[in-house]
A and B are shown apart, each in its own frame.
Chain A
Amino acid sequence: MNVTLFFTIFYSMVGIEALVLIPFLLNYKSLDFSSRCIFFYILSCIFFAGGSVLVERYIGNNMWFFSLMHFIQFVILSVFFYRSIPNPTMKNIVKYMPFLLLAIFIFDLFFIEGVRAFNSISSGVKQLVVLTYGLYLFLQLLRDRNLIEKSIYIDSLPIFWYNSGIFIFACTEFLFCISYNHLQALFTTGVARMGMTIAILSINYIVGMISMILLYIGFSKIKKLRHANY
């Protein structure tokens, strides 16, 4: 795969993230707590995307930066899920999970895979936990008696679209995360081709764009709810 095309996809994704961030930023004061979490999530995406380029240019290896990105994004998403999931037991799990993940991240970064390699274990665990949260929230929304009683369709809720964006990105990233460390090893030994690695990354970035569009749909649903005097 052409490297220029890869960078075009990467910068397009960052561009879309920036575009999606604008309406959130303009309406920040009127956003509810979940939407504010999503705002910070998008902000972190832009920050870490730009940051990774800068770190790579001025420091060289930027793999440790990805670990940091994964952990901070996990904290932001945990806050989002903590506020969105009503079940008290699950709430407690969501509340304490970042501490466990922090331990795994530190252990992986300093003792297992190292700062110069992609931390597949910690990022894989992170994606798996986010996937579980996403599925749980879907089930919770599906069972919500209040929504059914009031005949509120799930796709009219911002939270559904936010969760869809997060879930679909976690689905795509999961396999990439758990295997990228291995791919790096193969790449350095010359077994793997650069083209395929770039192809996998490109798929992730494209899904990243789709996920941003889903988050924007969620934002547009807040506007509709506000117009409907909810």
Chain B
Amino acid sequence: MRIIDVIVIGTTVMLMLGVIVILLVMLQQKMVIQHKLDIRDKDLQLQRERLIAVLQGQEQERKRIAEDLHDEVGAQLSVLKLNLGGLQPLLKTGNGETERLKETKDFTDTIIQQLRFISQSLHPQALENLGLAHALDSFCNLMNKNKQVKIAFKTAGNGQTVDREKALNVYRVVQELINNILKHAQATDVLITYQTTPSLLTVTVEDNGNGALLTSLSASRAKTGSLGLKNIESRLNIIGGNINFTPGTPQGTIATISVENYQTPAQNS
């Protein structure tokens, strides 16, 4: 083999080696990044699973407390109310005993009412029995009894049932939003609108407050320890939903929760 042939072959080999080195560098770095991304994905998945487990545990505990309160304390209070009613004919008149007994009965009634409210807030029974729209309606009625703010509920749905887990999370998000409105917004009227299409569930919470909710939300986003918004975001993240805050006209805030593919898998297919 002549020297020129060696040079031609050698140059070609060197060129190919150069190309191989470049390709190997590119591929190797891509593989390392891909591996890193895979690990990050797995980590996120693990965190998500943990969060779901925590929330499920929380819900189970809430359900247990709500049932205990309703079935045991509630029942005992009802018995107490009946007993107080039974005492009425036995009382002497003239010394104000009847009035005091009536006051005690009214006070027992208030405790029973508050107990129902707490029990309902802890675990909305209507959600399991009647679905999200009815549960939200019942939540509004319950809030109207106890608070100064007037909460109206409007539904424009076609009656499609929402997946149980998604319904519970949306319910909790609405609950959290109403709590925020009561705490910060100084609103007098709140309107909850419930809308469904075959693929999208939209719940809008509109208030006529001072709009401070928007600023308090952006401030709490920056804070690390803000649980309210984190809860909202985590819950919606789990069910693949999202929330959007916009200023209301002429005042207040509009929070729009939207969840795609909200129906149970069997219904979707």
| Residues of chain A whose beta carbon lies under 8 Å from any beta carbon of chain B | 135, 138, 141-142, 147-149, 151-155, 160, 164, 167-168, 170-172, 174-176, 179, 182-183, 186, 192-193, 196-197, 199-200, 203-204, 207
20 A-B residue pairs with Cβ-Cβ distance under 8 Å, sorted by A, are: A142-B25, A142-B28, A147-B29, A147-B33, A148-B32, A148-B33, A153-B33, A154-B25, A154-B29, A155-B26, A160-B26, A167-B21, A168-B22, A170-B18, A182-B3, A196-B4, A196-B5, A196-B8, A199-B8, A204-B11
Contact with A along B123-144 (1 / 0, CB 8 A): 0000000000000000000000
Please determine whether B22 and A176 come into contact, CB atoms closer than 8 angstroms: no
Please determine whether A135 and B7 come into contact, CB atoms closer than 8 angstroms: no
Please determine whether A153 and B15 come into contact, CB atoms closer than 8 angstroms: no
Q: Across the interface, which residues of A come within 8 angstroms of B19, CB to CB?
A: 168
> What's the nearest-Cβ distance from chain B to residue A56, in Å?
22
Q: Across the interface, which residues of B come within 8 angstroms of A192, CB to CB?
A: 2-4
> What's the nearest-Cβ distance from chain A to residue B18, in Å?
3
Q: Across the interface, which residues of B come within 8 angstroms of A175, CB to CB?
A: 7, 10-11, 14
Q: Across the interface, which residues of A come within 8 angstroms of B37, CB to CB?
A: 151
Name the interface size band of chain B: 20 to 34
Q: Across the interface, which residues of A come within 8 angstroms of B64, CB to CB?
A: none
A170 to B7, CA, bound (A): 15
Q: Across the interface, which residues of B come within 8 angstroms of A147, CB to CB?
A: 29, 33
> What's the nearest-Cβ distance from chain B to residue A164, in Å?
5
Q: Across the interface, which residues of B come within 8 angstroms of A141, CB to CB?
A: 25, 29
Please determine whether B33 and A151 come into contact, CB atoms closer than 8 angstroms: yes
Q: From A153, A174, A179, A186, give the contact of B29 (CB < 8 A).
A: A153
- Any chain A CB within 8 A of the CB of B30? yes
Q: Is the interface of A mostly helix, strand, loop or mixed?
A: helix
Please determine whether B7 and A142 come into contact, CB atoms closer than 8 angstroms: no
Q: Which of A154, A170, A183, A200 has the most CB of B within 10 A?
A: A154
Q: Across the interface, which residues of A come within 8 angstroms of B246, CB to CB?
A: none
Please determine whether B15 and A167 come into contact, CB atoms closer than 8 angstroms: no
Contact with A along B19-53 (1 / 0, CB 8 A): 10110011011101100110000000000000000
A198 to B211, CA, bound (A): 79
Q: Across the interface, which residues of A come within 8 angstroms of B237, CB to CB?
A: none
Please determine whether B10 and A142 come into contact, CB atoms closer than 8 angstroms: no
Please determine whether A186 and B22 come into contact, CB atoms closer than 8 angstroms: no
Please determine whether B3 and A183 come into contact, CB atoms closer than 8 angstroms: yes
A199 to B21, CA, bound (A): 25
- Any chain A CB within 8 A of the CB of B264? no
A153 to B11, CA, bound (A): 30
A154 to B22, CA, bound (A): 11
Question: With A168-B18, A171-B17, A207-B15 in contact, do A179 and B25 touch (Cβ < 8 Å)?
Answer: no
Please determine whether B25 and A200 come into contact, CB atoms closer than 8 angstroms: no
- Any chain A CB within 8 A of the CB of B114? no
Please determine whether A172 and B29 come into contact, CB atoms closer than 8 angstroms: no
The 4 lowest CB-CB distance pairs between A and B, nearest first, are A171-B18, A196-B4, A154-B29, A168-B18
Q: From B8, B26, B28, B29, give the contact of A203 (CB < 8 A).
A: B8
Q: Across the interface, which residues of A come within 8 angstroms of B18, CB to CB?
A: 167-168, 170-172
A153 to B15, CA, bound (A): 24
> What's the nearest-Cβ distance from chain B to residue A77, in Å?
16
Q: Across the interface, which residues of A come within 8 angstroms of B14, CB to CB?
A: 171-172, 174-175
Question: With A148-B33, A153-B33 in contact, do A135 and B8 touch (Cβ < 8 Å)?
Answer: no
